[in-house]
Amino acid sequence: MPIEIDALLATVPTQLFIGGEWRHSSDGATIDVVDPSTAKTMVAVASGTREDAVAAVSAAESALETWRCAAPRTRSTILRKAFDLMIERREDLALLISAENGKALADARAEVSYAAEFFRWFSEEAVRLHGSLQTAPGGDYKIVVQREPIGVAVLVTPWNYPAAMATRKIAPALAAGCTVVLKPASDTPLTALALAALLREVGVPDGVVNVLPAHRSGSVVGALLAEPAVRKVSFTGSTEVGVKLLHAAADRVLSSSMELGGNAPFLVLEDADIDQAIAGAMVAKMRNGGEACTAANRFYVHESVAAEFGRGFATAMQALRLGPGYDEGIDVGPLVNLAAQDKVQELVDDAVHRGADVLTGGAIPDAEGFYYPPTVLDNVDAGAEMMNEEIFGPVAPIVRFTDLDEAIAAANRTDYGLVSYVYTDDLACGLRVADALESGMVGLNRGIVSDPSAPFGGVKLSGLGREGGHEGMLEYTETKYIATSW
């Protein structure tokens, strides 16, 4: 591990952040944070309890009245400062993300910029929370509609984007006037704690943002959601856990936003520009080393261009440098943990067993971290497990097609519906395909869709609600209608 990271770790908080104070866990429990590049523990972080959960909600509840009544411009200015300070600290935050998550520095730097943009975007949205006014149809009174902050929000985030998944929730919640308790993933609690310190520095009042790492996640999140002051849960993670949280939310009729798993198809049509399709495939597959819910999971390529596409894609994948994420010049870091590495290998073995051709990669290298090489498989069987579940690693399965309608039907044959990608030189055809794809987002001749100013989210088992855009702030509001005799 580079010495800059040692120095950085010495400055990063490792305790719970509740009501503006750093605290130990009430039972002294800790979480070991592991460096996936070496498989060694770097530092231990306090792991919250149910009691700490109650304390965190209580802090958020105490801070709510003042924060929701603060002038929108005041909230906006603080969020804007958070953007500026994140950008100023980009290098340190990126190193921290690489150290605890494993991703390559280039990906970590991109994540910090992306994460910071949520603060900028929602600093701009904070002063634009419109309502409406209309005359009732009978003409006898006015219908006044306003948006109010929903209240205390519980935010639960995954390890794959430790900064961006947190800011994508914190920024709109604060913009709308809500206070929050964030439970980060146990693999990556450090980035969330560093963000808590940063938000305190820019003037977020005590109790408005509380951060509660907790490895007993089911129990602790259960305790959070059971607190009467909580009115909202926003979750990003697996569909399996999202369903559990929806059950818990039902008991208290909590407003719920769910950003869940994906199984993105990537279609390359007969007339596509193959060089551009390969460049797009590299981004759609390899952004974040393949550990993204938006990662292209299945490549449907027209038979007439499949050999050319497969060759070019494999050559580009093979050229990527695999190594410790925080080393300069590395393109692909390790996967987040041993379980992830094992799962990717199992999926590859299954596909190969069913007849897939390995164009590049396919085997775990001999190294101490959780590495997996960029891998391209051709002629993958439709029944292979990786066609039906998220790979969450640098592996690209190619399936060849001849009939576009059949390819679209195959693309839609999944319980998920987060994002789809289409490459074609015929824009009208691309738009027709985009219409037919069952997903919340489509990349048309683009390998990336994520943008803080656009509504991000999925259909089917990929989730409920949208993050980013104007919609992202509305998720943290309630509509109030005031019937007014004018």
Give the integer Cα–Cα distance in Å for 195 and 116.
10
* C-beta separation of 182 from 165 below 8 A: no
Please confirm, yes or no, whether 51 is among the known catalytic residues.
no
Q: How far is CA 374 from CA 310, 316, 360, in A?
A: 13, 9, 7
Cβ proximity to ligand NAP: between 105 and 293 the closer is 293
Catalytic residue among 100, 111, 125, 293: 293
Give the integer Cα–Cα distance in Å for 129 and 474.
8
Site string for ligand NAP, 164-193 (x = CB under 6 A): -x-----------------x-xxx------
> Quick check: 259 binds ligand NAP (CB under 6 A)?
yes
Residues with Cβ < 8 Å from 471, sequence gap 6 or more? 455, 465
Catalytic residue among 100, 125, 227, 259: 259
Judged by CB under 6 A, the stretch of 72-80, 145-153, 159-167, 435-443 that binds ligand NAP is 159-167
Please confirm, yes or no, whether 117 is among the known catalytic residues.
no
> Quick check: 337 binds ligand NAP (CB under 6 A)?
no
Cβ proximity to ligand NAP: between 157 and 477 the closer is 157
> Quick check: 390 binds ligand NAP (CB under 6 A)?
yes
Grouping H, G, I as helix, E, B as strand and the rest as coil, residue 444 is strand
Nearest C-alpha neighbor of 156 from the set 127, 185, 128, 135? 185
Judged by CB under 6 A, the stretch of 104-112, 151-159, 312-320, 373-381 that binds ligand NAP is 151-159
Which residues from 195-254 bind ligand NAP, rule CB under 6 A? 215, 217-218, 221, 236-238, 241, 244-245
Binding residues for ligand NAP, total number by CB under 6 A:
29
Identify the residue whose tokens are 């006015």.
Answer: 142
Residue with smallest beta-carbon separation from ligand NAP: 237
Least spacing, CB of residue 236 vs ligand NAP, in Å: 5
> Quick check: 439 binds ligand NAP (CB under 6 A)?
no
For 27-65, letters b (16+ CB in 10 Å) and e give: eebbbebbbbbbeeebbebbbbbbebbbbbbbbbbebbe
* C-beta separation of 350 from 82 below 8 A: no
Least spacing, CB of residue 121 vs ligand NAP, in Å: 16
> Quick check: 159 binds ligand NAP (CB under 6 A)?
yes
Q: What is the DSSP string of 428-442?
A: HHHHHHHHHS-SSEE
Least spacing, CB of residue 212 vs ligand NAP, in Å: 10
> Quick check: 262 binds ligand NAP (CB under 6 A)?
yes
Cβ proximity to ligand NAP: between 432 and 446 the closer is 446
Q: Which two tokens stand for residue 14?
A: 């490792």
Phi-psi region of 18 (alpha: psi -120 to 50; beta: other; left: phi over 0): beta
Computed from CA positions of residues 221, 453, 261, 105, in that sequence, does the dihedral angle turn out positive or negative?
negative
- The residues that are catalytic are 259, 293
Residues that bind ligand NAP (CB under 6 A): 156-160, 165, 183, 185-187, 215, 217-218, 221, 236-238, 241, 244-245, 259-262, 293, 390, 418, 458, 463
